[in-house]
Structure 1
Amino acid sequence: MNLPLIPAPAATTTSDGTLVIGDGLGIAVPPELADLAARFVEDVRIDAGIALSVAASPGVTVLIDSAGIDDVAPASGLRADGKDLADERYGLEITSAGVRVWGPTAEGVHRGLTSLRQLITAYAQDGSATLPAARVIDGPRFAWRGLSLDVARTFHPPAVVRRVVDMCSLYKLNVLHLHVTDDQGWRIEVPSRPALTEIGACGAIGDRPGGYYTQAEVAELVAYAAERFVTVVPEIEMPGHIAAVFRAYPELAPGEIRSIDLGNGASLQLSTLDPDRAETWEFVEDVLDAVIPQFPQSAYVHIGGDEAFGMPDEAHAAFVERAVELVRARGKRVVGWQEIARASISADVAVQYWMDVHEVESMDYDAVSSMVPAELLPILAEGLKKAAQDAPRALAQGARLLVSPTSWLYFDRPHADASSDAAQEEMRKRVGLPVYPAASIRDSVEWDPVENTPGVESDAQVAGVEGAVWCETIATADELEFMLLPRLSGAAEKAWSRQTSTDWPEYAARLSHQSKAWQQREWTWFHSVEVDWA
């Protein structure tokens, strides 16, 4: 019997017997886990409509314990919070007498309670849930399991970001990578550079409203995520994608700014920060000094580094190398898009692989040329030609890859399959970047982070797995959630589960149960006809 859990656990055994979970069932926890248990109780109330309680006479026992955990190997890769001794492994045992959830750390216990929460929701009916007797021993394959969220092209307010954190937590994703700066807007306060928010934060793509997060709002988001064991990693895009900075501080811009109209309400700027100017580095240091303290849980700063169109290779490499040193001097580590591998980097830098060589090689260039301005085509062709060597170059320098290939983990591509909800068909045709071939929900899980990443031969070369959602075509919270669900659960499956291949019918059966929680939380989700939703 396969339990309706996503991601799939490392080891599961089932046996005869059941346990009924209903209102008033008690949860016994040690004092240090009281807050964690209270959040679990609230989540079960929302997801399943069942009111559990924290009580001395328990039906559920939660404790710190390592029994049986070593049957599952520790996770491979890097943690965004930099912790070397963190352990997310857990045990979950259900018998007719009750439930026991344990792990060596509070984080491990949280992952176990998340699995229990999914089971209660899947089996909930008429105010109670009848769970099958089972034992689960589980732990993640990769330590970094994340989502990159673009809040520059569309500004998503804190309440929307918290909903995304809740989605990540439900599927055991532990990183929210916030893309807070780009050409279209600057979304974070830098007190020494007030024009970044007074001017740079105004507007977004097209006629969408702008905005930014105050330091107080960032602190609340970071704390909210940390309570759910999600680390928020900031991305400060540089040296390209910098138009919002040039609007705020024109003195940082080159004498002539070149841009290309993309015809969709957006333009692509081809000008970059100049590494030979002292003013550039004064700006970068001001930004790092303001941003880093706002994300105390993150051991990393994402420096962007991608698509520095028109910038000579030598200047780009020089910029990346100095930016890395500035971040390192402030006690943090660097992650950047794959183009940073063209610089001289060290093994402590994580390189985010996104330009999937398979997709580049199979791209329909005639179709691309019909959607992309002619002026941009040679620039893209040059960038794609260089991209093929980025992953091998990063690995040769000892860096690990954060796997985010466009083919499987870019959630802004159109949905290929139809929706069983006819009302969603208009949104399906409208939302998603048309330059990407449409992808089905099945496509999102029929791949492997090691087998399908060029140059990677083992888990040890992988920092982790991260999905990405870009918002050129996404203007509202509903559209954002429509593109995230159910794809986000597929990303979690590939990042956590130790199964290198996914059986689609078996996965689809587990996926079908997830819609119950989504409905209860009023999340918008894509009703793919590929799944027989519960």
Structure 2
Amino acid sequence: MRQHQKQYHRAARLFGSLLLVAAAGVSAVGAAPAHHGSAPQATTPLGQVVPAPASVEAGGPAYAITSNTRIRVEDHSRDARQVAAYLAGVLRPSTGYRLPITDKHGHDGIRLELSRGAKDLGAEGYRLRSDRGSVTITAHSPAGLFHGVQTLRQQLPAAVEASSRQPGPWLVAGGTIEDSPKYGYRGAMLDVSRHFFGVDKVKRYIDQLALYKINKLHLHLSDDQGWRIAIDSWPRLAEYGGSTQVGGGQGGYYTKAQYLEIVQYAASRYLEVVPEIDMPGHTNAALASYPDLNCDGVAPPLYTGTSVGFSSLCVGKDVTYDFVDDVVRELAALTPGKYLHIGGDEAHSTSHEDYVTFMDKVQPIVAKYGKTVIGWHQLTGATPSKGAIAQYWGLDGTSAAEKAQVAAAAQNGTGLVLSPADRVYLDMKYNKDTPLGLAWAGYVEVQRSYDWNPGSYIPGAPGSSVQGVEAPLWSETLSTSSQVEYMAFPRLPGVAELGWSPPATHDWDTYKVRLAAQGPRWDALGVNYYKSAQVPWPAD
């Protein structure tokens, strides 16, 4: 898989000062001439995408998408045909071409192949071959085809993302990419509790995540400020507990049908939804909704501030576990994915003894309903269940004792997802002048968010324990899609690369050039992003 790394790095370093011009090959491959006498365009050098592919062998003539191009799906697979329809939906508005989808055999066009023999590509890998006559994406699974399509998108000019017809030409550099992810867990978290984000806003974020091969969407569905998912057996959780948000306002919640709409939309982009119900702390919205969940039987008022650590479910009451059982049962039934996140962080109002008792009782409930536990890394202060994953959000300056506790759990079989707050919390300010976000973990510029190694980040934790990375986005200061995008971009693609690409490709000097090339793509997509001075953005 990595035999062409030398070629990859050579091309990557050249890209900072030189584009491989394909003008000489344009007429040879039958490309439609540029409209209105515009100058010939350069192709994007093969593999100059984000995340970086595992293996790139560049060379040969470019392929041109023209009015005669067909998208071929030759195995009669419904999943492959859906990926083809997705690709056509991306390409048709900007090219103006019909791009019919056909299952007729042919060696030309854009070919999507599901191959039983391509087991070496794994569950999410793909092979992309481009030459004079065709672009062929081969994968062992539909997810691999979909990821290959994202690479194809980035090999085309940024104008391909536009919603209206653009002049082209639409060239794909020649050669072969063979690619599969380093980690199986590549996540992004959206906090819909501090501020509520409706279905359409979540879908928009899903589409942005999919472009960078993110495969997990972690939804933070409950916190002190709001409960965001309807639970039939405890209706006031959403109706009352979801009625506000940080700073006041009406809040909101997802009906079960709306949550399923998000789950299904994410699945169509090959993302798995990981729902989180944070407990035993971060529970004021639930405590305000049902007095019996409080040890004294008195419901606190709804909360619209941003402090943490003051709330706790009553560990000694049987009704607490009836509540947890009902919530987990209903949420698990709505969630086809493997994981259910139970939070567990900042439970400062829960004694250590009660915390351990609570986790000992709650983890088996999650297992009873067929899900695997994920918890914030404080879970390692209790006894993580077999197969559980701890999500580490500590800082470089987190105490050695706390890191050792996490490492010991990892040595005993607990998996780790890395989300260090001073590296990949997307709500951290870029610098002191950033108008949004917080700074309790420090300022996190683009290079800092990219320039670290998940596999060796926690001393003593086996590299094999690291399941992947996740970029959380907390919403204390964010309430619109534009604000979400400003904090996520350009940092999110770097986290995606840390999760997907082999460590040998992680190099800031080459990455920042590939990242800069994403700017025009985001412009075409209408994505609001921070133009960091660390990134050599193209001149306007």
Which TM-score band applies after superposition, normalised by the shorter structure? Answer: 0.7 to 0.9
Higher strand share: 1
2:425 alignment partner in structure 1 = 410
The AA in structure 1 aligned to 2:206 is V
In the superposition, relative to structure 1, how do residues 515 and 415 fare at CA in structure 2: closer, same or farther (>3 Å)? same
Which consecutive residues of structure 2, in runs of 5 or more, have no partner in the other structure?
A: 1-10, 13-46, 161-165
Shift of 1:69: 6.3
Q: What are the equivalent positions in structure 2 for 1:16-31 lying under 5 Å apart?
A: 16-29=60-73, 30-31=75-76
Cα distance in 2 between the residues matched to 1:409 and 1:429: 16
The alignment partner of 2:60 has SS state of strand
1:91 alignment partner in structure 2 = 127
Which consecutive residues of structure 1, in runs of 5 or more, have no partner in the other structure?
A: 75-86, 362-384, 418-427
Contact 1:305 1:336 in 2 (8 A): yes
The AA in structure 1 aligned to 2:266 is A
Deviation string, structure 1 residues 362-383 (Cα, Å, up to 9, x no partner): xxxxxxxxxxxxxxxxxxxxxx
Deviation string, structure 1 residues 91-127 (Cα, Å, up to 9, x no partner): 0001112111101111111111211111124486722
Cα distance in 2 between the residues matched to 1:116 and 1:139: 15
Contact 1:292 1:301 in 2 (8 A): yes
Q: What are the equivalent positions in structure 2 for 1:492-507 lying under 5 Å apart?
A: 492-500=496-504, 502-507=506-511
Contact 1:47 1:521 in 2 (8 A): no
2:51 alignment partner in structure 1 = 7
In the superposition, relative to structure 1, how do residues 24 and 53 fare at CA in structure 2: closer, same or farther (>3 Å)? farther
TM normalised by structure 1 equals: 0.85
1:311 alignment partner in structure 2 = 350
1:469 alignment partner in structure 2 = 473
Contact 2:291 2:297 in 1 (8 A): no
Match status 1:480 vs 2:484: yes
Cα distance in 2 between the residues matched to 1:49 and 1:532: 31
Q: What are the equivalent positions in structure 2 for 1:372-387 lying under 5 Å apart?
A: 387=402
In the superposition, relative to structure 1, how do residues 48 and 499 fare at CA in structure 2: closer, same or farther (>3 Å)? farther
Deviation string, structure 1 residues 44-89 (Cα, Å, up to 9, x no partner): 346777663324464111111266763x6x5xxxxxxxxxxxx111
The partner residue of 2:101 within 31, 35, 54 is 54
Cα distance in 1 between the residues matched to 2:505 and 2:171: 30
Shift of 1:517: 2.8
2:226 alignment partner in structure 1 = 185
2:391 alignment partner in structure 1 = 352
In the superposition, relative to structure 1, how do residues 68 and 153 fare at CA in structure 2: closer, same or farther (>3 Å)? same
The partner residue of 1:65 within 112, 115, 129 is 115
Cα distance in 2 between the residues matched to 1:164 and 1:23: 31
Shift of 1:247: 0.9
Contact 1:15 1:134 in 2 (8 A): yes
The alignment partner of 2:146 has SS state of helix
Deviation string, structure 1 residues 235-270 (Cα, Å, up to 9, x no partner): 0111000000011002211339899x99x9433352
Contact 1:47 1:517 in 2 (8 A): no
Structure having greater relative contact order (Cα 8 Å, sep ≥ 6): 1
The alignment partner of 1:16 has SS state of coil
Shift of 1:132: 1.6
Cα distance in 2 between the residues matched to 1:49 and 1:512: 27
In the superposition, relative to structure 1, how do residues 152 and 123 fare at CA in structure 2: closer, same or farther (>3 Å)? closer
Contact 1:346 1:398 in 2 (8 A): no
In the superposition, relative to structure 1, how do residues 386 and 214 fare at CA in structure 2: closer, same or farther (>3 Å)? farther
Contact 1:482 1:526 in 2 (8 A): yes
Contact 2:229 2:256 in 1 (8 A): yes
Contact 1:4 1:122 in 2 (8 A): no
1:216 alignment partner in structure 2 = 257
In the superposition, relative to structure 1, how do residues 47 and 159 fare at CA in structure 2: closer, same or farther (>3 Å)? farther
Contact 2:403 2:458 in 1 (8 A): no
